[in-house]
Amino acid sequence: MSNYFSNFRSHLPFLALLLVLSVYLGSKTFPEEGWSGWEEGSAQTLLTLEHWDKDGAFEHKLLFIPIGMSGIVKYLDEPGLRQHARGTVTGSLIGRRLYYTHYPPGYLFPFALLKKAGVDERYGFRLFSLAISLAALTLMYAAFNQVSNPLFAFTATLYYAVSTMFLDYADSLANHPIDDLLRFGIILISLLALKKDGAQRRKYTAAIWALYFILAASSYDSLLFIFIWLVGLDYIGWLGSKDRARRGIPLKRWALFAAAPLITVTLQFLQNWWYLGWDDLVLDIKGVLLYRMGDSSQSGKFWLRGKELLNTFQMMTGLWYYYAIPALALLVAACVYLRKRIFGSLPGLNIFVLFLVAGSAFALVFAQSSDLKYQGRQLAPAISLIFAMGFFILIKIAAGPRVLFNRKPALSVSFFIILVLSLSVISYGQLKRTIGYVADWPNNAINAESMQIYKALGRMSEDDLVIALISRDYAYANPQPMPRWEYYSGRTILTFKSPELFLKDLQILKRRAERPFDVVILTPDEDIIPLLMPILGGRARSFDSGHYMLFVKDPVVPEGIFSRE
């Protein structure tokens, strides 16, 4: 019993961390104007859930449909109106389409079930995501505890938990929480499996395969990470085996792991074929791969992708990479030398190298996507591990500094100074960014006045309503509207660079629509409303923000208006 309570006490710091994060991040989910770091993706998830809940997920082929609600939405997938579609844009070989086909929809299913169960407020979904993220953090702690001790595991988990890579996406309604949950779950189970043999090990392998399959159906972000981790961990175990010549490299086991994402990707191709047809499916795959594997420096040279990898270090540490990389390199060097001077349970450096290689793979392969601001999470296990190792060594030496003078004291003291300085630099980068983040409550807040305007526009009619944004300052004829405004208004928003483009597409929609719909026009240009009122009628008003509005009940565009021009 005393051992039980002793073990429990060793985990109290982590439990306290969970409590603090639960209160802080939980309270952050309630302000209506605040969002997670991936605000666009969260809003698109909410829009998709509305469509799935209203029509049924199979009506939409289980695909992501990131657009506001309206009866005219289905017509935006027709050739003459696809300029307003919000789905498949990346790659652009097939142009814009209504549904998004480049990401697995699995992470949407838990949210859809919550929606069916009656959860309707955004904070309810955010709290659910937060619960998943905290569970992922628990799995991370448990995984590091497998290779070391509670102090080490707490330090590693704390480094990630207080970073904006965790804080800013813990309540995301996109794939980030479930990606973390499954990634750390697989890491934990694979470490536990190292201690098992025979039938028990096969059970762990089956569990890993099942989680990897679910991960591939929910998120692409960690697929390369997990495969490299699983193969690398097996290889490390094989190298350390006394009978490795007899056992051979476990190629069949690696092929089994590779089958999990291959099956799910194949299923998604079939899902996309259901929607796009064969010809467009092939073009879509080609287009998105060429785009994702391109380089943001507009060079396809593989060796230039190192810049994208450096950016991920910058995202994870909060330091410019020309500070982060030297600090991390010095920290690794200090850990390599000083770990031999102390007693304690530390993970092998081969685990750090494996985490580092696995975390670098995404940036090297999918360079164009690696600069997304959340991709620093790929390096969270590696950097958290080496930071915790350095901190653990620091504590041990501080408790017994004589170890520095037992052998080669000058070199040992020099490396200890390097250890302290590198830990200080890395801690400074993380803490400075986190303090600024906490002060920016409730984070990623949108303009409250604009939010109220869009909510008011959405309430203009009890019938079907389309919001048209018209501005001559737009860079494109039909730029993509912000999904958050469609969420707040609860309506479909269409954008136009000129009133002529608006009238043209409105006429097409009125011809195609099976049911009447109303229109509300919002514009910052003072002359547009007087131009449209003689044609469409309606009632106008202005907002303090400098925007002008025209509401038209079931508008009719005169047939000869364009021929008269």
For 136-146, write each residue's pLDDT tens digit: 999 999 999 99
For 101-117, write each residue's pLDDT tens digit: 888 999 999 999 999 99
Instruction: Examine the pLDDT at 246 and tell me if it is beyond 80.
Output: no
**Helix/strand/coil for 103:** coil
Which residues, 6+ apart, have CB-to-CB distance to 247 below 8 Å?
238, 241
Q: What is the DSSP string of 143-173?
A: HHHHHS-HHHHHHHHHHHHTSHHHHTTTT-S
What mean pLDDT, rounded, does the chain reach? 91
| pLDDT value of position 538 | 93
| pLDDT value of position 2 | 45
Question: Would you say how long the chain is, in residues?
Answer: 565
Instruction: Examine the pLDDT at 1 and tell me if it is beyond 50.
Output: no
Q: What is the DSSP string of 46-61?
A: HHHHHHHHHH-GGGGT
**Backbone region of residue 57 per phi and psi (left: phi > 0; alpha: psi in -120 to 50; beta: other values):** alpha
> What pTM value is reported for the model?
0.93
For 494-513, write each residue's pLDDT tens digit: 999 999 999 999 999 999 99
Give the DSSP H/E element, type plus range, for residue 485.
Answer: helix 483-489
Instruction: Examine the pLDDT at 367 and tell me if it is beyond 90.
Output: no
Q: Minimum mean pLDDT among 269-273, 296-300, 400-404: which range?
A: 296-300
User: Residue ranges per domain, the chain?
Assistant: 10-15+125-439, 448-564
